[in-house]
Amino acid sequence: MNQEKEKKLKEVLYSGILCDVLDGMGYRNQSIGMVMKPLLDETVIFGPAFTSIGTEVYSMPENPLIAQCRVVDQLKEGEVYILKTRGAYNCAVFGELFATAVQKKGGSGVLLDGMARDMKELKKMKFPLFYRGTDPKTSKGRCEINECQIPVEIEGVTIFPGDYIFGDMDGIVVIPKALAEEVFDRALETIEKENQVRKGLANGQSLEYVYTKIGAI
């Protein structure tokens, strides 16, 4: 999918409509609720997943953070950086400097199943981040990010490299890569139907009538 189309989709899509479409296609467990919160209410992330996993460690490695640097350096323009820490929530694995690197690489956002820090600076940047929580401690000697581009699971939802990620203030949706084009086309059709519902309601028609006639709420 080209970047121009992705940009247009990001402007009109929302998590609820994507879940409705996926439900209708038989994929009923593709969302992650607000366990993962957006940095700002207006935060939206959208793009193919670049996945990574961290492991809790109990000693200081010779070159702490170098593995995570190498992972982030592989990020491609438009990708959403997924970082899962396997439950290592005792330190921050993402902050302002990593965010700056992702931004300069053209990444479209970060989904962090772990802790972040430097929130003041991240908010100044309006960085597109979803995260589990905060902790001021460094990950050096506590968590090592050392694997990438493998399947990861967050809150029971499996994310494969290349799956599309969409996140807004209602939550995060994982769209399987093989279904993405069909899901987006159906979502746009459903949005048009919802616009017809809005028009009917504005004209005084009953909710039951417009729902029965148009089939979208």
Question: From CA 212, how far away is CA 154, in angstroms rounded?
Answer: 37
pTM for the structure as a whole: 0.93
Per-residue confidence at 2, pLDDT binned at 50, 70, 90? Answer: confident
> Which residue matches tokens 């209602």?
170
| pLDDT, tens digit, 9 for 90 and up, residues 98-122 | 999 999 999 999 999 999 999 999 9
Per-residue confidence at 210, pLDDT binned at 50, 70, 90? Answer: confident
Alpha-carbon dihedral angle through residues 113, 36, 99, 103, given to the nearest 10 degrees? 120
For the chain, the residue count is 217
Mean pLDDT of 136-164: 95
Q: How many CB atoms lie within 10 A of CB 109?
A: 26
Percent of the chain with pLDDT over 90: 78
Where do the domains of the chain lie?
A: 3-182
Secondary structure of residue 144 in the 3-state scheme: strand
Alpha-carbon torsion 104, 108, 114, 116, what sign?
Answer: positive
Question: From CA 51, how far away is CA 83, in angstroms rounded?
Answer: 6
| pLDDT, tens digit, 9 for 90 and up, residues 46-78 | 999 999 999 888 889 888 899 999 999 999 999
Please give the pLDDT value at position 4: 80
Q: Tell me: pLDDT of 217 over 80.
A: no
- Where helices occur in 96-139 by DSSP H, the ranges are 96-104, 119-125
Please give the pLDDT value at position 62: 86
Type of residue numbered 108: S
Topology of domain 3-182 in CATH is: Glucose Oxidase; domain 1 (3.50.30)
Give the tokens for residue 50.
Answer: 């670049």
